[in-house]
Amino acid sequence: MLRGTPTRVENIGKLIMKKLIILAMLLMVGTVSLYPVQADYPEFTELVKKASPAVVNIRTTRSASKRFEGLDEQKVPEMFRRFVREMPDRQKPGPSAGSGFIIESNGYILTNNHVVDGAEEIIVALSDRREREAVIVGQDALSDLAVLKIEGENLPTLDMGSSDNLEAGQWVVAIGSPFGFEHSVTAGIVSATGRSLPENNGNYVPFIQTDVAINPGNSGGPLLDLNGKVVGINSQILTRSGGYMGLSFAIPIDVAMEVAEQLKEQGMVSRGWLGVLIQRVDRDLAESFGLDRPAGALVTQVFDDSPAEAGGLREGDIILSFNGKMIDLSSDLPHLVGRARVEAVATLEIMRGGKRQKVEVTIGKLDIEKIGPQGSDPALAANGNRIGIDIVDLEEVDKRRLEVNKGVLISQVYSGPAREAGVQRGDVLTDIDGEAIDSAEQLERLVAALPGGISVHIRVVRNKRPQYLALKVPVM
């Protein structure tokens, strides 16, 4: 063998090395394809530059509460009079701040009602440091919205987007004045849509939930999508500390602009009214009504002379859709009805007696009244039955006092199906399994005839408020 000539072993080694290199390169390519390079975060700079000029800071002045209003100094013991005289001026106004944004170039501004409610003076600070005094065009407490007007022409405005197409996971940006720090920018994602909150306006606003950092002073400011269009108005936070804790809520812009237009035109808002009380449908109620899953809004009461009564809705109906929009949660229904135009005809799909059907209802106008239910003091009776309750017939005077026109009074609840279903002493049982109850004797007969091991729905009136419960019938 000549010197310098590769041996067979060396050739094999080089071949193996080439294959290993190729294999490594293939593995690297495979790794890249399996784990793509993470995309960059959105760039907010241009969006903020374009949107910020239309965002305003709102300062309001309110009179401080008068803790000692009407106090006669002469009636105060001498040793305490010095403290009364040295108290700070009780008339001194207290300032507060919020945000808003210009929706029309001639000076119309949209903000939260709670930012300006009760204000004696409203000052709007523009992005160029000019200040204008604002007047309130209209306010709506149920949606927590207000429209203001300042003097001006050719003012910068924001473009309106659509909140109806907003989805969880989308990026959103907030601009506002948290704690007075004007034009602060925060960003996050949409956590959920269609949220109802346990507030006075919770049933009429399907809130957008985000994780955008919102603090006092952000209220009324815009929530923007990545195109710089307004999709919501930052309104509330859920907190135990008074500051941001990851749960922020915005009013959908589609709802807000409907309210704003009415406020501009007539200074008030007209909302649709159906005239029913409803409750959520849980798994047991869904089974008892013949639904394959919990859905819809269960009608517990139809008000007299209401659109629902005129349209043929009944207690025990489950409303599954409103004008083609599915009612997944019972809280979805007030959102849709409230946005419906007064005197418009709405088509409702309902479940009645285990069958689906459609009814048409002419929407009425909501008259905001709050009637607080009053308690009752029922008399006791002893008349046990299969489901573990004692009942007594109602006299006409009892029906008038309890504001019912049928049913029997539950005077005692024992361990058993009724207690497990949530029945309480003092409830009036008006229906069982779709049958109206007029007497204790009738209820006993119906209960005795029920097959064991099934779920049936019962309607009870508690503190003058009706509701449905799912009751498991015991096996005899």
Check 96, 99, 143, 144 and give the catalytic one. Answer: 144
Buried b (16+ CB within 10 A) or exposed e, 152-177: eeebbbbebbebeebeeeebbbbbbb
Given the residues 96, 219, 321, 455, select the one marked as catalytic.
219
Catalytic site includes residue 114? yes
Question: How many angstroms separate the CA atoms of 347 and 365, rounded?
Answer: 17
* Catalytic position from the list 114, 163, 248, 332: 114
Active site includes 144? yes
Catalytic site positions: 114, 144, 219
